[in-house]
Amino acid sequence: MIKQLQLRISLQEERQAGILINKASQHLNVKIEDISAVKVLRKSIDARKKTIILNYKVDVYINEQPPENDQYSFNYQDVKNAKPIHIIGFGPAGMYAALRCIELGFKPIVIERGKNVQDRRRDLKAINQNHFVNEDSNYCFGEGGAGTYSDGKLYTRSLKRGDVRKIFENLVYHGATDQILVDAHPHIGTNKLPKVVQNIRETILTYGGEIHFDTRLTDIIIDDQQITSIVLNNREEMAVEKVILATGHSARDIFTLLHNKQITLEAKSFAMGVRVEHPQQIIDGIQYHCKGEERDSLLPAAAYSLVEQVNNRGVYSFCMCPGGFIVPAATANGEVVVNGMSPSKRNNAFANSGIVVEINAERDLNNYEIHGALKGLEFQKDLERLAFTSGGRSQSAPGQRLTDFVEGRLSKDLNPTSYQPGLKSAPLHSLLPKIIGGSLRKGFKAFGEKMKGYYTSEANVIGVESRTSSPVNIPRNDKLAHPELLNLFPCGEGGGYAGGIISAAMDGERCAEAATGNL
C-alpha cells in the first residue's frame, strides 16, 4: 500500500534520525516496522514566521517496496544515417531538440557559433581579466548557451508546455544531482553545469548526431517559402530540409538577418534594470529572522522574491542568486551587461538579484519606431553602450550604493563586490531613462518596507541588467513553423517562447516533434 503525505518538520526535528518515518507512522497510525520506505517527492522551506518549517511531500510504502526503476527511460536510436534536422544554436532549446530528434529517429546536425565548454573558459577569463569580449564565445554564446555558466536555476511555471519531470530526469541521467527532483526551487550550480552539458554532447555524438562548433549562421537561401540552404561563416553553403532556430535572446545578428530578408518579426515587451548586491548575511538575517552570521547550518543561503507596481508598471526581482556572484554578460565590445549566478553550494559572501522594470513594446518605445520590430533591441543597445561609457569604457560596470541611487546622489565610494572586472562610481539614478530609473527608485523603497533591512547603504546597485528576455518575437503557426518560412521552427528564448532552462528545453522538444512530423 502507498500513502501520500504532507509533513511539516521543524529545524530541531530535522536533526533527528528517522524523523520522516516516525512522523509518517504517527500520521498514518501504523507501526514503524510496517513502513518499508519513505520517498521524498518535494521539499521546501517556510520561513515566513520565526519558527522555520521544512515542508515535505512524501510517498509512504507500507508493507511493500518502492519500484526499482523510474517511469522515465530515454530510448535513443542510432541516427548516423537517418534523415537530418538542422538545429541552429546549442543552448537548452537546441540541446533538447537534438536529444528529442534522436529519440524520434532523426539525425540532428547542430550549428553552434561558439566553442565547447572547456574552450569557453579561456574567453570568460579574457572578459573578466582583460576586458575583452569574444563575440562568438562568452557568457551567452558557446556550448550550452547562456545556461552553461549560470546558476542553473530550474524552477519554471510553464507546467502545461510539456513534461517538466522528463526534463529533470534527463538532467539527472546526464549527471545532475537527483536533489533537483525534490527541491521546490532546484538548481544545479555554475560549477556543475558544464559537466552535464558535456555529457549531453557525448550522448548526441554517440548516437550519430553532429555538432559543429565555431560555426556561425550568416545567411539563409530562400525559395518558395522554404529555406533551401544555410550559409555558414560567410563561405560554406549547406542544404537543409528542416531548420530549428534556437539561437537565444542575445543573437542579435540573427534578428537582423531575418529583418533584412523581410521575414516578419514582432517587437515584444521585455524588462530591463540593474543588479543589486547585498552581503549574504543581510539577506539571511531578514529571511531567517536571525543575525546573519548565525544562520542555521541546515538552512541554505536565503533567497527572496519581490514585486511591486509603480505607476501601473511592474518592478520585480529576476534571477535572484543567493551566495552567488555577478558576471559580465556582454556579447560585443563597447557594451556592458551584468548577470548573476551561483555555485552549487551557494556559499559566496554575496547575494545578488536583477531588479527590473517592465518595458511595454507598444507604449514605451516611441523614439525607436524607426527600427520597426527591432526597436526593443535598439533600446537595449543604447543602455548597454551607456553602461560601457559610464563604467570607464571597459568591462568595469557603473555602480552606486543602493541608498545613494534612491536618494539621487553620486556615491563617494562603493561596497566590496563579487563582480571581477570591477565597479566605477556613476550616477545611475540620472543616467537611466526615467521609466527605468524612476520606477526602480520607488520600487527599492517599497522593497525596503517589505524586507526590513533590505534598503541599506551596504548594498550596491550595478548596471545594466538588460538581457532578461528577447525583445523580439519570431512568429510561428499552430505547427510551430514560421508562417512565411514553412520549414523554419523558431524555438526557445530567442524566438520569444521560453523564459529559462526548463521552458526552453521543453520548447526544444516540441519543435523537434514539429520538425519531424511528430507533434
Q: 48: which residues sit within 8 A by CB, 6+ positions away?
A: none
Q: How many CB atoms lie within 10 A of CB 443?
A: 25
* Residue that has been written with the C-alpha cell 553553403 in this structure: 237
Cα 515 to the center of its chain, rounded Å? 25
- Which residues pair with residue 351 across a beta bridge? 278
For residues 270 and 489, what is the distance between their CA atoms, to the nearest angstrom?
22
Q: Distance (Å, rounded) from C-alpha 298 to C-alpha 408?
A: 40
Q: Could you state, in chain order, the average pLDDT of each consecutive group of 10 residues for the chain (519 residues)?
A: 95 94 95 95 93 96 86 92 98 98 98 97 96 97 89 70 90 94 90 95 98 98 97 98 97 98 98 98 95 87 97 95 96 97 93 98 97 98 98 98 98 98 98 97 98 98 96 98 98 95 95 92
- Give percent helix, percent strand, percent coil of the chain, each to the nearest 5: 30, 25, 40
User: Which residues on neighbouring strands pair with residue 270, listed in sequence order?
Assistant: 359
- Provide the edge-to-edge strand list for the sheet that holds 210-212: 210-212, 107-111, 84-88, 243-245, 488-490
Which pLDDT does position 278 carry in this prediction? Answer: 98
Q: Domains in the chain, start-ordered, CATH in brackets?
A: 2-62 (3.30.70.2700), 84-265+474-515 (3.50.50.60), 267-465 (no CATH)
Q: Distance between CA 148 and CA 146 in Å, rounded? A: 6
Tell me how crowded residue 399 is: count the other CB atoms within 10 A of its CB.
29
**Scanning the structure block, which residue is given the C-alpha cell 524612476?**
438
Which residues pair with residue 62 across a beta bridge? 35
* Grid cell at residue 42: 518535494
pLDDT at 50: 87
Question: In whole angstroms, how far apart are CA 183 and each of 44, 204, 286, 300?
Answer: 6, 28, 22, 12
Q: Which residues sit opposite 271 in a β-bridge?
A: 358
Q: What integer pLDDT is reported at residue 159 of this predicted model?
A: 62
Please state, as a whole number, how many other Cβ atoms lie within 10 Å of the Cβ of residue 519: 13
At 170, phi and psi to the nearest 5? -70, -35
N- to C-terminal Cα separation, the chain: 37
Q: How far is CA 462 from CA 71, 339, 400, in A?
A: 45, 10, 7
Q: How far apart are alpha carbons 275 and 391 in whole angstroms?
A: 14
Given this model, what pLDDT does residue 70 score? 66
Contacts of 16 (CB under 8 A, 6+ apart): 22
CA–CA distance, 424 with 367 (Å, rounded to integer): 29
- What are the strands, taking DSSP E only, across 13-115? 35-46, 53-62, 84-88, 107-111
- Residue 498: closest CA among 107, 217, 145, 215: 145
List the one residue out of 132, 89, 91, 133 whose CA is nearest residue 113.
89
Say which amino acid occupies 282. I
β-strands 243-245, 488-490: how paired? parallel
Least Cα distance to 326 among 50, 107, 68, 128 occurs for: 128
